[in-house]
A and B are shown apart, each in its own frame.
Chain A
Amino acid sequence: MAEGRVVGIDLGTTNSLIAYMQGDSPVVIPGVDGSNLVPSIVALDPMPADGSRPTVTVGNTARKALIETPERVIYSVKRLMGRGVSEVQAELKLFPFRLAADVDAANPNEVPRIQLGEMTFTPPEVSAYILRQLKRNAERFFGAPVTQAVITVPAYFNDAQRQATKDAGRMAGLEVLRLVNEPTAAALAYGLDREKEGVIAVYDFGGGTFDISILKLKDGIFEVLATNGDTHLGGDDIDNLLLAIALDEIRNDYGIDLRPHADAVQALRKAVIEAKIELSFKDTTHFDIELPNGTRYQREIPRAVFEDLIKPILERTAVPCKQVIADAGINPEEIGEVVLVGGSTRIPAVRRQVDAIFHLSTRGKKPHTELNPDEVVALGAAVQAEILGGSAKSTEDMLLLDVTPLSLGIEALGGVVARIIPRNSTIPASATEHFTTGVDGQTNVAIHVLQGERELATDCRSLARFDLKGIPPMSAGMPRIEVKFLIAADGILHVSAREQRSGKEAQIEVKPTYGLTDEQVESMILDSFDNAEADFAKRLLIEARLEAETILAAVERAPQHPAWQKLTEDEKLTIDALKSVLQIVSTGEDANVIRSATVSLDQATRRFAELMMEEAVTSAIRGKTMDKAGEDLGDEIQAPHPMAAAEFK
């Protein structure tokens, strides 16, 4: 098979995106609903009566299930990636989903599984469903299979979290050519525009993670000087805090504990998030929620109160910022530009915080926000995908030199950590260590690999334990085993070992502390037909028909909409004619013919869609939210248009 396009994927806590390079500029590929963002929400449809596997839905469709069947929906799964059972348990206190009942909480090596309706899923499997959705969106867009991708991860992700992300890619039928750190990707997206030299900082405050990176740009080389962050700090924390406050208030003032009512909690969460978003551009907002007993929880929240509440969360971003500046060995004044990434940077208080940390306004500077903070990481991933593809002029001089965020060490006697690769080392990086035996005739040596900055092994994250086996029996201290640790460009560790006196390659049996085995990943690969060409054609046809049905259904209802009357007779006739064409061709077997008929009808109805939008906006101004307006008008205009603009060859 000819090598296809490499796509860039931002697998986010809240939303996920897929992008590619269109000529010289990166572009996000929209989904069927026309939206660039695919909410990172996965839902399980009701169990079919025949007992077959229920369908898994992803994105906006899954979001709808969040209110109706919250026990069958999972979101923010990124926070669970690469984590052990006990960590996941702590995390889940804030979320409505639970560990599967049969997960052995006492076994620290067990990969957690989440209960979703009747079934259970590991976090990489859930992520794989999101990735598969993105892959399908891209395949639909290109009309060709997509098999290779660059996926972004928070810079501060550890080895296990990175490996879990790669596993998810594999399960989704994607060869992950590279994992790229999110802030670095953002820098690539910005760096593409103009020739730049100098030091920049990327402040990435997303849904679930916070990253701060400092890069030096020179002649197309993007050299990361240092990175820091908190994989447990994001917009989610703001939502959870506001939610907890609201729940307490409702209990105290109305005597109702909403916590056991998953659907009511979800509705409240939705309201809290809307309030947060509104406070980014308004001075005040208010809640108005119906409680189960029929009374209403109404509350005014001025921006100042909101900012006071979230202050402790924002202050937590200052610590990594100071550390990263120290690690990069620079003064804040040397940072020429600051790039803002992630939806949470829309909050005015966050911008003020950034300004204070980097002394921006005192130097007459402003942070960069030209690129959409929700999209910039995906755009950068597309740039890196193009660099790896290696064929484009626009990126041929660009090279990314990234670093490992955490120090790598091994446990020495007394439980102390001996650091072998310091944090902020440019990757790939390696270190060679020598080990020997302590007892005569000893044939095994146990090695414990750790990641983190603390002095004691118990305070660092355990990456893996392995035994060097088959050491020829010698007196104590005689064998000389050379172990090579290599962190690859993904930030993932590889190990090799050799006994030097006998020249024997020592056997290593690695037990990752958290993570799936190769066999487990293999068994979790999603519907393997994804890669088969014949099935691919079949799927394209099914999808083409589905799209045709969607738009036909929308056009069928169109004349009942007031906007229809605003169309000219000519426009109406054209739409009718194209509708008949599509109705006929969609019974045929040629996906391309169906598609072009769909596109024609789509284009003919574009003005109608715009008119509907105007209506929706008008009713929003009359005091309804966009969402409400959409509901009033029917499902098909949730998105600006029933069918996204698509490109067909």
Chain B
Amino acid sequence: MADMGIGVSVKRREDARFLTGNGTYTDDINRHGQTHAIIVRSPHAHARIKKINQAKAKAMPGVVAIFTGEDMKVGSLPCGWLIKNQDGSNMVEPGHPPIAQGKVRHVGDPVVVVVAETRQQALEAAEAVTVDYEVLPSVSSLKAATKAGAPLVWDEAKGNICYDWALGDKAAVDAAFAGAHKIVKIDLVNNRLIPNAMEPRAAIGDFDKATGDYTLYTTSQNPHVIRLLMGAFVLSIPESKLRVVAPDVGGGFGSKIYHYAEEAIVTWGAGQLKRPIKWTAERSESFMSDAHGRDHVTHAELALDKDGKFLALKAETLANMGAYLSTFATCVPTYLHATLLAGVYTTPAIWCNVKAVFTNTVPVDAYRGAGRPEATFLLERIVDIAAREMKMDPAEIRRKNFIQTSQFPYQTPVALQYDTGNYDATLDMALKMIDYKGFAGRKAAAAAKGKLRGIGVSCYIEACGIAPSAVVGSLGARAGLYECANVRVHPTGSVSIFTGSHSHGQGHETTFAQVVAEKLGIPSEQIEIVHGDTAKVPFGMGTYGSRSIAVGGAALVKALDKIILKGRKIAAHLMEASEKDVEFKDGKFTVAGTDKAKTFGEVALTAYVPHNYPITELEPGLEEQAFYDPLNFTYPSGCYIAEVEIDKDTGTLEIMRFVASDDFGKIINPMIVEGQVHGGIAQGLGQALLESCVYDKDGQLLTGSYNDYCMPRADDFPNFDVQHTDKPTPCTHNPLGVKGCGEAGAIGAPPAVMNAICNALGVVHMDMPATPEKIWRAANAHMARAAE
């Protein structure tokens, strides 16, 4: 099926339903007898709950039940990754009750759940609930939380420190710094972001009185993980009694990985009431209850020799965890950040210290890129500063330090082993795409119009295809990170694929079908891709960390190989040939050197109507399952270059060009990959130019709606020139040679545009987001300096 197979920009099969309004998102689902929940949330950053007055609300029309933390005594929402302190002790791991018990620790913390017959009735009753609080001192920023004598979010976390962790060889780094020709330094903030998938989170809990089974419909990127976490740790419901369905999901970007309180509340509540309960977030609720992203403060230093070779890097990072530890929170600044600090460079010695800090803010967890954007921003900014101080071209200082193609597999000093890559190729391509040589002329032309023009290069690498279970297990992960696929061939030769990967925009129904079409040689109309339902899909770890095709796709290939293997045995029997002589190609089993052939459909039928069948050697039926646990991470890499023009008088910025040259290894569907990169770049540029989550000193969220939190709009960006490298380096350890592409844009874009801005303005550094005001101030300081 060449026109449907690997490498073809097949149009997406899911589009028709989305384009006609026939998608089924969680809030589109209604269960018979459904009630509606509204959550009364804390207006305070830190407070003791003195009294909850619910009598008035209880008596209001339609009210079915009111639950508080006293009513819902269940397990704690778990954290999936245990980090060890430098001294070997465990991180501080406070409990996280779904409904606050005694104290609230951030604005938005659930306090009371009001359930009523209609949403409107629940809203009105929720208004009538009053809570008496004793407001406590709070900390809402990394700076405030780490000050001596700061109020404590948790009594057990001294100095608000969750953990104090380090990676790398400090002695080697210190020695290299002692002998360095030059040391460059940076202090930076990686701004806090709010993910804002366009579909607000929602959850429906359902309980079957006849069987005692629970069902949760939820906006999740990984329904099996939710089933495991909620079933085992929070509600003590065995997997056999708990079904989790994540139907069409309107974007995730990490924010829908985690097990959230509301999922446990509606599931538990449905069991209490023996009726379904639906909860849908309003956007303002999303702002204060979805896990936020980033929020690092870092000091870093890079040591260089006289030729501009990097000798050593050290970084000290404070990472905000928020008030509670969300599912993956603790691994983001450590194993997804510090481990990436080699970047694409041969820096021989690296040391990174991370202190994770509790604050009275919404939990912070992985957001598109997760740790890797923070690492890349740090590295690509400090490398640019090094180029400036060494008076070297930013592209050339990078090239000089690249890991060479002959050096793979390359062991970095921060735990990872890169299997393959070609960083010169992506750099060269991006330089050509943007006409790097012509920049001086464009800068002069801009200057003639009174504009400041700047160019910024960023070379990123990411660790994707998350993750080899044994490796992450040794680092503190409490789960394996394999993937599962099941291939069910039906009697007539059509095929159902059950994958543990979850699509919330990535187009798996199309790409996974391409893999099947390629392997089995059957038309795509005969292939069905099923995901997002624990009652249908045997198991799965879900979609995040650019893992779907690299891990889920690999599991699928393994399962398909088993189907082909069994098919060959059946075909050999039918054709009275030896199994070793049977070949399978383009949907046909043939015997080498003869014209004997059996189609895939004939073999499938034989498996289910086994009248003429090798019944003593082979079971009837044709269905196989595979788990795939990757041997290593995959390492997509690439080069992004931004060119900007700044109006000094207004501080406004225009992105004149943005080019991306990526190496994702093998590509299944170039159209979809390009779309992923576009979206990632937009989120990266959003971080760099527009977005920032702001709390005031009392822990009030100032950016709690689209009025205050600046989401990227269509008129903020130009078109992006996105291309795939002409010298791809396929992943060496998964069967498809794929590396993953979902996060690259968000990782590579922020430093590219910030480097361009710093270049235009002639400044060393500017923190994100580079708002017109910040740019204006810098531009005018620059003019002042020039005038001196």
Are A and B subunits of one complex?
no
Enumerate chain A interface residues (CB-CB to B < 8 A): none
